Amino acid sequence: DTAVSQTPKYLVTQMGNDKSIKCEQNLGHDTMYWYKQDSKKFLKIMFSYNNKELIINETVPNRFSPKSPDKAHLNLHINSLELGDSAVYFCASEGAKQETQYFGPGTRLLVL
């Protein structure tokens, strides 16, 4: 069984569109994250949620809005997509001991 899953795996869209990426974890973890990995392969944290509550919100444009319907899900909605949003977006979850994060397979977003 997949521990952390993301959908879709690939997303190609045009500038100005609104899109959502979904993430689900079946590990029973309380904390979930969204990361952006750019073309230089640098992983940058975007958001962190603990038990459905936002605990980290890095300097991210407000076009990005995370939504956590329950602690097993953390979705990412992006409004008015821009070319610079093209990247790989990773979801991750972490247990209470904060020992390791489990990453999803990534969503490859290409904005044309």
Partner 1 sequence: KNQVEQSPQSLIILEGKNCTLQCNYTVSPFSNLRWYKQDTGRGPVSLTIMTFSENTKSNGRYTATLDADTKQSSLHITASQLSDSASYICVVRFFYGGATNKLIFGTGTLLAVQP
Binding site for partner 1 (CB under 8 A): 4, 40-45, 55-56, 90, 92, 98-106
| Euclidean distance between CA atoms 5 and 44, whole angstroms | 19
Q: Which is nearer to partner 1, 64 or 102 (CB)?
A: 102
Backbone angles phi, psi at 84, to 5 degrees: -70, -5
Smallest distance, Å, CB 68 to partner 1?
Answer: 19
| Euclidean distance between CA atoms 71 and 10, whole angstroms | 24
Smallest distance, Å, CB 24 to partner 1?
Answer: 14
Smallest distance, Å, CB 42 to partner 1?
Answer: 5
Q: Which is nearer to partner 1, 21 or 92 (CB)?
A: 92
Smallest distance, Å, CB 15 to partner 1?
Answer: 25
Q: Which is nearer to partner 1, 44 or 63 (CB)?
A: 44
Q: Which is nearer to partner 1, 14 or 41 (CB)?
A: 41
- Positive/negative CA dihedral, 60, 61, 64, 69: positive
User: Distances from the Cα of 35 to the Cαs of 13, 38, 44, 93, in angstroms?
Assistant: 20, 10, 5, 11
